[in-house]
A and B are shown apart, each in its own frame.
Chain A
């Protein structure tokens, strides 16, 4: 969250919206204030229990990602629900190699997601390139582009590993150590 200069509202022409009995602001002063109070704990409790993720199956790890969201592993009980639109999602799971052709689309998905948002690097390919670490057509060092919170090693990792990744992400959100929010 970038610092925004407070806009002077003394001049009537600068007022963006005139609602009787309501003060409007264009700064993030309220959320910045809330981050210092106990109210943020309540907000984080709500956020950690509704980690909706994008269905973005990019490689063979995507099969594990899909089955995690289905009935057998039943992540709905943790509030982890697969969403088909990035505009509804909180968590981007990079589930496989990122080819140079797919990278602009992945960046666009990330830009479409509303904040606060988190990233999980799922599988060896997303972490280090995996077997494609020397390839001419994949993009390496994806953690320099996205703020990755959780790394899940494995080729592919099991569905239980992804559930544990969500659990660790919940613990990071409660401890205010996640990269999705700027404390």
Chain B
């Protein structure tokens, strides 16, 4: 299947849930999804369209729009297409369903997005900080309005 066929199949299966879909090139598709349906879409992609590889899952902060985007980059071993899905969450209370039951490797991606952006993943098996110490939880260092950066305590600078 090429990129056009994949996005047509997906849009017809989930009408109104997937919007702003665009085919960026022969190998890239970009689409936005409603955040309460992310797990169903991932389930369908994995089982019906053989998109079995979650390459990456990350967060993007947009303070001017008061939004946090959660981006899923999903690849396939059968189609030469990489699919980018974006779910848009409110910035003051970002919550989204975890996709760990579908893609098990999302576990650490979601823990990292949780500690850096504060996105709460519902029904995640083990949601705790991955690389930051426990007492830094709640600072959300990769949000744009984080006050702790730049840290000016270094003294031995030349």
A113→B127 CA distance, assembly (Å): 36
A32→B154 CA distance, assembly (Å): 37
Stretch at the interface among B44-52, B101-109, B131-139: B131-139
B152 interfacial by beta-carbon distance below 8 Å: yes
How many residue pairs between the two chains, A and B, have CB atoms under 8 Å in the bound complex? Answer: 43
Minimum CB–CB distance from A56 to chain B (whole Å) comes to: 19
Q: Scan residues 70-117 of chain B and give those whose CB is less than 8 A from a CB of chain A.
A: none
The reply to whether A143 and B136 form a contact with Cβ atoms under 8 Å apart is no
Q: Which residues of A contact B158 (CB under 8 A)?
A: 128
Stretch at the interface among A47-55, A66-74, A134-142: A134-142
Decide: A137 near B156, CB < 8 A? Known: A100-B133, A101-B132. Answer: no
The reply to whether A143 and B156 form a contact with Cβ atoms under 8 Å apart is yes
Q: Scan residues 120-158 of chain B and give those whose CB is less than 8 A from a CB of chain A.
A: 131-133, 136, 139, 141, 146, 148-158
A100→B133 CA distance, assembly (Å): 7
A133 interfacial by beta-carbon distance below 8 Å: yes
The reply to whether A137 and B154 form a contact with Cβ atoms under 8 Å apart is no
Specify the main secondary structure of chain B where it touches its partner.
Answer: loop
Q: Which residues of B contact A137 (CB under 8 A)?
A: 131-132, 136, 141
Minimum CB–CB distance from A130 to chain B (whole Å) comes to: 10
A127 interfacial by beta-carbon distance below 8 Å: yes
Q: Which residues of A contact B155 (CB under 8 A)?
A: 140-141
Q: Which residue of B lies closest to A101 (CB)?
A: B133
A129 interfacial by beta-carbon distance below 8 Å: yes
The reply to whether A101 and B152 form a contact with Cβ atoms under 8 Å apart is no
The reply to whether B148 and A133 form a contact with Cβ atoms under 8 Å apart is no
Other-chain residue from A127, A134, A135, A136 in contact with B156 (beta carbon distance below 8 A): A127
Q: Which residues of A contact B141 (CB under 8 A)?
A: 136-137
> Which residue among A127, A134, A143 has the maximum number of chain B CB atoms within 10 Å of its CB?
A134
Other-chain residue from B131, B132, B146, B149 in contact with A134 (beta carbon distance below 8 A): B149
> Which residue among B132, B139, B151, B158 has the maximum number of chain A CB atoms within 10 Å of its CB?
B151
The reply to whether B152 and A134 form a contact with Cβ atoms under 8 Å apart is yes
A136→B151 CA distance, assembly (Å): 6
Minimum CB–CB distance from A32 to chain B (whole Å) comes to: 34
Decide: A134 near B151, CB < 8 A? Known: A128-B157, A128-B158, A141-B156. Answer: yes
A51→B139 CA distance, assembly (Å): 42
Q: Which residues of B contact A127 (CB under 8 A)?
A: 156
A127→B157 CA distance, assembly (Å): 9
Q: Which residues of B contact A141 (CB under 8 A)?
A: 153-156
Q: Which residues of A contact B150 (CB under 8 A)?
A: 134
Decide: A129 near B148, CB < 8 A? Known: A101-B132, A101-B133, A137-B141. Answer: no
Report the 10 A-B pairs with minimum CB-CB distance, sorted nearest first.
A134-B150, A128-B156, A140-B154, A133-B154, A101-B133, A129-B154, A136-B141, A136-B148, A140-B153, A136-B149
Q: Can you pick out 27 interface pairs between chain A and chain B where the beta carbons lie within 8 Å of each other?
A: A100-B132, A100-B133, A100-B136, A101-B133, A128-B156, A128-B157, A128-B158, A129-B154, A129-B157, A133-B157, A134-B149, A134-B150, A134-B152, A134-B154, A135-B149, A136-B136, A136-B146, A136-B148, A136-B151, A137-B131, A137-B136, A140-B154, A140-B155, A141-B154, A141-B155, A141-B156, A143-B156
